[in-house]
A and B are shown apart, each in its own frame.
Chain A
């Protein structure tokens, strides 16, 4: 069963001067099956985030359509929830209240909001902090709260936009592990945007590669390692290097000739 699908999506924006149109993404089509985790990588400015905003219904595409659970996305809806690099916690709400933001907006019964917040905070080892305020938590913990808030609305699809790029390397490893565990446990479908090639490989079932602007899908790679819920174990797998090499090739980074040319140019 397909949870999330992009059909020939093209997005054009007015450029900074407001005169010319810039094509951010062009003719993007792909589908994410139920329970699948797909990573999306590509150079900066290739329209990855735009794709995510279209999926969440915040932007309407210029052409094509996004579908979630078989329905065309025509605006924000409760099937999708996103998480960004910024934790976006509200400083005036306690951790538990922050987690309940989404369910509260969707006007679900208050008892249910509180119960879901409690469960999620428990499973993410944040139960002791539920009455604290965001400024009292570390960056890694805040990002876990943001994950709990995203999961609290029980979405069919999670859209994750570089969720761990603002935390330090050690915290990132711990967060990747927790995300993988949580996704597996709740059998959620996710689209993960990342700059980190290793993160893409160890967290996903499939990696899609986008080109520079205008962004197109230029490669698709199935990750056949297993143990998707154990990124720490996956890191050790010898196949990781092969996948990474192919991704670097596709993204045209660290190609010996290119590197030499860049050095000579400098």
Chain B
């Protein structure tokens, strides 16, 4: 795709995206009243905005958002590191993979969010059980992608390095590790959004801070706008995490041919 047609695509795409946003906000604002939906079921956009402003001063919205964001970051970073570490270890040791795979599979099939009550029973109403749920939920996609990437490295590439008298460590750092970068980043994108899910479930189950707590608080008061605000803020946290991963990915995978689209 030429630079000119690419920039034309970006211009047209951005305009269409903004038009859709305006259309969506308008439908949200005036749609429900027109259809006779009461505002305690679907509050109009303006009511949600007013609630957002109110929550900033009354409900310490920024504090709760900050707590959730911090838990998401901690859970995502720890879960990715552990997932990648295990992926590389298992990828390099077929024996370990064979021995551990049934247990890993069992843990992967078990719904991770179901562990939330257990972790809260163990660690109390602190941030740790929330982080732990996020770690667990981020761990698997990262590990599986890294493991598959290491397994999928062209054996001829490894033989090439070996023929140059590469040691096992050199084969890893010069061939296997860089080869695993594209699948690793694909899994980090998934992980960034999953981390938010893990943290929110942890907060919903118990505690007195975080957006998940505000969600249940709003629910208890039948305050629909508050629930909407929490969902918006959670989406914002997930979105920022996702964009940060993409920005890092672009730097690391700069050698990959540019994709025709913006690259979501």
Please encode chain B, from 155 to 171, with 1 for each CB lying within 8 Å of some chain A CB and 0 for all others.
Answer: 01101111111100010
- The answer to whether B6 has its CB under 8 Å from any CB of chain A is no
Say yes or no for B174: interface residue by CB 8 A criterion: yes
Q: Give the residues from 86 to 106 in chain A that come closer than 8 angstroms, CB to CB, to chain B.
A: 86, 88, 90-93, 101-102, 104-106
Is A80 within 8 A of B178, CB to CB?
no
B165 and A84 within 8 A (CB): no
Q: Is A125 an interface residue (CB 8 A)?
A: no
**A123 vs chain B, min Cβ distance (A):** 21
Of the residues B174, B253, B257, contact of A105 by C-beta under 8 Å: B174
Query: Of residues 239 to 263 in A, which have CB atoms within 8 Å of B's CB atoms?
Result: none
Give CA–CA (A224, B217) in the complex, Å.
93
Interchain CB contact under 8 A, A76 and B165: yes
Nearest B residue to A80, CB-CB: B163
In the assembled complex, B154 has its CB within 8 A of some CB on chain A: yes
Question: Which chain A residues lie closer than 8 Å to B162 at the CB level?
Answer: 58, 76
A251 to B157, CA, bound (A): 32
Which residues of B have CB within 8 Å of A101? 160-161, 164, 174
User: B154 touches which one: A57, A78, A82, A88 (CB < 8 A)?
Assistant: A88
CA distance A104 to B161 in the complex (A): 10
A204 within 8 A of B: no
- What B residues does A76 contact at CB under 8 A? 162-166
Q: Which residue of chain A is the closest to B157 with respect to CB atoms?
A: A88
Using Cβ atoms and an 8 Å threshold, which residues of chain A touch B89? none
1/0 per residue, CB under 8 A from A, across B49-62: the answer is 00000000000000
Number of interface residues, chain B, beta carbon within 8 A: 20
Residues of B within 8 A of A86 (CB): 154, 156
Q: Are B166 and A105 in contact (CB under 8 A)?
A: yes
- Confirm or deny: A135 has a beta carbon within 8 angstroms of a beta carbon on chain B: yes
A176: Cβ under 8 A from any B Cβ: no
The B239-264 residues at the A interface (CB cut-off 8 A) are 253, 255-257
Task: Report A186 CB to chain B, min CB distance, Å.
Answer: 18
- Is A77 part of the binding interface, using a Cβ–Cβ cutoff of 8 Å? yes
Contact of B159 among A58, A91, A92, A153 (CB under 8 A): A58
CB distance from B187 to the nearest CB of A (A): 18
A91 and B165 contact, CB distance less than 8 A: no
Interface of A is mostly: loop
Cα A65 to Cα B215 in complex, Å, equals 74
**Given B154, B161, B166, B255, which contacts A92 in the complex, CB threshold below 8 Å?**
B255
Give A91 to B180 CA distance when docked, in angstroms: 12
Q: Are B255 and A82 in contact (CB under 8 A)?
A: no
Cβ contact within 8 Å between B159 and A105: no
Query: B181 within 8 Å of A by Cβ?
Result: yes
User: Residue B205 at the A interface, CB < 8 A?
Assistant: no
Contacts of A133 in B (CB 8 A): 255
Q: Contacts of A9 on B, CB cut-off 8 Å?
A: none
With A58-B159, A88-B160 as given contacts, are A105 and B181 in contact (CB-CB < 8 Å)? Answer: no
The chain B residue sitting closest to A59, CB to CB, is B159
Residues of A within 8 A of B164 (CB): 76, 78, 81, 101-102, 105-106, 153
- Quick check: is A56 within 8 A (CB to CB) of the other chain? yes
**How far is A101 from B170 in the complex, measured between Cα atoms in Å?**
11
Contact status B163-A81, CB under 8 Å: yes
B57 to chain A, nearest CB (A): 50
Q: A90-B178, A92-B178, A101-B174 are in contact. Are A78 and B159 (CB under 8 A)?
A: no
Asked whether A88 and B174 contact (CB < 8 A) given A56-B163, A76-B165, A106-B164, the answer is no
A-B residue pairs in contact (CB < 8 Å), sample of 13: A58-B162, A76-B164, A81-B163, A86-B154, A86-B156, A88-B154, A93-B255, A101-B164, A101-B174, A104-B174, A105-B161, A105-B166, A135-B257
> Which 5 A-B pairs rank lowest in CB-CB distance, beginning with the nearest?
A102-B164, A105-B164, A105-B166, A56-B163, A133-B255
Beyond A90-B174, A101-B161, A101-B174, list 15 extra A-B contacts (CB 8 Å). A53-B159, A58-B162, A76-B162, A78-B164, A82-B163, A86-B156, A88-B156, A90-B157, A90-B175, A92-B253, A92-B255, A93-B255, A105-B174, A133-B255, A153-B164
